[in-house]
Every structure is written in C-alpha cells, then in structure tokens.
Chains A and B, each alone.
Chain A
Amino acid sequence: MAVEGEEEKTKSFKLLGILDIQNTPCAREAVLHGSAASILVGLGHFLATSRVKRSFDFGVGGFMLTTLGSWFYCRYNNAKLRMQQKLIKDGLKNKVMYEGTSLDPTRKQNSSQGGGS
C-alpha cells in the first residue's frame, strides 16, 4: 500500500515545478477553467481588434482572473462540505454514544416536537 501511495505521489504533475495539479483539491479544475477562459478572451480580443500582443495580454489577464475565481469558488464549496461532514460525523458519534440516555439528541428533538403539538 505504501509503495502504491508513493508511486501515485511520484506521478504528480507540478505546474512551474510548484503547483501539484493532481494532488491539490480544486487546482486542476481552476487551471482548466483559467486556460479555457484565456483562450476565449485572447481569441475574442484578437478577432475584434487584430492586435496580437494586446490579445495575449488580455489572455493572460483572463487566465489569472478566471483561475483565481474558480479556485476560490471551489475551495469555498469544499470548505462548506467539510464542515457539513464534520457536523454529520459528530452527530453520528453523539447519537451512538448517547442513544437511550437523557443526552440522546434525537430524544430532545422528539420531546420538543411533542410539547408543541
């Protein structure tokens, strides 16, 4: 198992030698979105203005903004998911530990619903 894990990590592809696309969550998605946006924006600008260098500038700008935007959006959603997973995990643990006792979280919910009706 350890050898397979090491092989997976040695196969990792690092952009500019620093950013591990394969093992960093959201990195691959962000770079792909950025690349697509840079091609669209650069090409679109060139078709509209026929200015090559300025189109490259717009392409790079589009790449950076889109990569950043996609990265933050994906990381924010990931963070939300992780918090939800943690809450579910803690809830399951509490349910298993306190089932049948006065601290049972489902018993508290049921008694509050029964009191209301």
Chain B
Amino acid sequence: MAHPSQLGFQDAASPVMEELLHFHDHTLMIVFLISTLVLYIIVAMVSTKLTNKYVLDSQEIEIVWTVLPAVILILIALPSLRILYLMDEINDPHLTIKAMGHQWYWSYEYTDYEDLGFDSYMIPTQDLSPGQFRLLETDHRMVVPMESPIRVLVSAEDVLHSWAVPALGIKMDAVPGRLNQTAFITSRPGVYYGQCSEICGRNHSFMPIVVEAVPLEHFENWSSLMLEES
C-alpha cells in the first residue's frame, strides 16, 4: 500500500498493473535520455564561442529533428496501445460485483449466486484500532477470491464518483444512469486500498475502497457469514 512521501507507484497486485509499471519504466528511460540530450544542448549553446547570424536553413538538422521525435513517439505508442487493448480484455470472469457510489460511501452487490449486498463506510479516525490506516479503512471490505478474474460493474446513485484501486491498476468512473465495466485478477492475496477519484461533495476524501483478496475457501466462508448476517 501507499507509504508517506511516496512518489512512485505502489507494488503491482495484478498482471495489468505489472504491465503498466513496465511501460512506465520504458517511457521514463526515454524521458531521461531526452532530458540528458536537452541539458547537453543547453550547456553547449551557452558555452559556445561560435556565432553565425546568417544561418537561414539547414536540411539535415530539419530532417533529424522531424524523424527522431516521430520514431520516439512510435516507440512509446506501440507498447501503450498494447496495454490499452490488454486492459479492455474481459476473459470469462468467475464473479461479477456491482460497485455503486453514493454520497459518501460505496455499496457492493454480489448477485451472481445469492443476493448479497452491503455498504462500505469509512471508519472514522476516532474509531480506528491500533495498526489501522487513517482515512483508508472501511467497516466492510470488498472480498474477492484471489487469482480469479473478477468483473466489476461501476455506477453511482447520485453524483459522479470514481472507483479506483492503484495497486490493481484500476480506475473507473461511476456515472449515474450508466454502467461501466472493468475487470481484474489479483496475483496474490492481500488488502488493497483506494479512494474515490471524482469530486463528489464535502466527504469526497472520506469514502475509501478496500479490496481484500483471499483464497477461495475463505471467500466462500466470508460470503456465507455475510448472507447469515443480512
């Protein structure tokens, strides 16, 4: 999960997020090389004693600074498009969950087999137990079986919200009257935190998302318990 003064991404917990991390590294290396080149050119321009006021054109340099940026853009665009289409693949999900945004909490519905639904409110700071995370913990987590493809249908009941979990590489807008679809597979068990990512009122910062990936037997036990409670 996120730690204080973090600048980079969180560790990937899904294959899509791993691909995004690799793409980010690839693009950052290109950015680093371009920055080095620009820095060198600035130093060279500032320190040169040569001045020629009569240079009007130069075919060679024009070709270089047209072709090179085009090549760089292609080098960035190809992996980017690959990941874009990879993220759109929905391969036979085992479970479909509806995540509905409200002011100011999320509700989750597991309606594939039984009618299971619950609300997920943030735990206020004064009610936190030692070791729990401020503004991130919720009373009910969205529990999913690990290493299983999960489809999430995101929508909202009132205003715009956005369901985002950085560790899984997911962000999907929750639009009232519209059903948006996203899917993920968790590579490993764990607890993954996210926060509402579309301004939605005074408590926009206080409606977090917690996804808990557990082995299938634990998921089955949890869903039985939740059904009994409801």
- A interface, CB within 8 angstroms of B: 2, 5-6, 9-10, 15-16, 18-20, 23-27, 30, 53, 56-57, 60, 63-64, 67-68, 71, 75, 79
> Within the assembled complex, what's the spacing in Å between the Cα atoms of A2 and B28?
26
- B interface residues, how many (CB within 8 angstroms): 20
With contacts A24-B25, A25-B25, A27-B25 taken as known, whether A19 is within 8 angstroms of B37 at the C-beta atoms is: no
> Within the assembled complex, what's the spacing in Å between the Cα atoms of A114 and B83?
42
B29 within 8 A of A: yes
20 sample A-B contacts, Cβ–Cβ < 8 Å, listed by A number? A2-B3, A6-B3, A6-B4, A16-B36, A18-B28, A18-B32, A18-B35, A20-B8, A26-B25, A27-B29, A30-B29, A53-B48, A60-B36, A60-B37, A64-B33, A64-B37, A67-B29, A67-B33, A68-B29, A71-B29
* Chain A contacts for B5, CB-based, 8 A: 10
B24 and chain A: residue at smallest CB distance: A24
With contacts A2-B3, A6-B3 taken as known, whether A16 is within 8 angstroms of B35 at the C-beta atoms is: yes
- B interface, CB within 8 angstroms of A: 3-6, 8, 22, 25-26, 28-29, 31-33, 35-37, 39-40, 44, 48
The smallest beta-carbon distance between B32 and chain A, in angstroms, is: 4
Contact assessment for A19 and B32 in the assembled complex, using a CB-CB cutoff below 8 Å: yes
* Chain B contacts for A23, CB-based, 8 A: 8
Main secondary structure of the interface of B (DSSP, over half): helix
Contact assessment for A75 and B26 in the assembled complex, using a CB-CB cutoff below 8 Å: yes
* Chain B contacts for A10, CB-based, 8 A: 5
* Chain B contacts for A53, CB-based, 8 A: 44, 48
> Within the assembled complex, what's the spacing in Å between the Cα atoms of A53 and B35?
20
Of the residues A5, A6, A15, A57, contact of B32 by C-beta under 8 Å: A15
Contact assessment for B44 and A19 in the assembled complex, using a CB-CB cutoff below 8 Å: no
* Chain B contacts for A6, CB-based, 8 A: 3-4
Contact assessment for A24 and B36 in the assembled complex, using a CB-CB cutoff below 8 Å: no
The smallest beta-carbon distance between B124 and chain A, in angstroms, is: 24
> Within the assembled complex, what's the spacing in Å between the Cα atoms of A112 and B4?
57
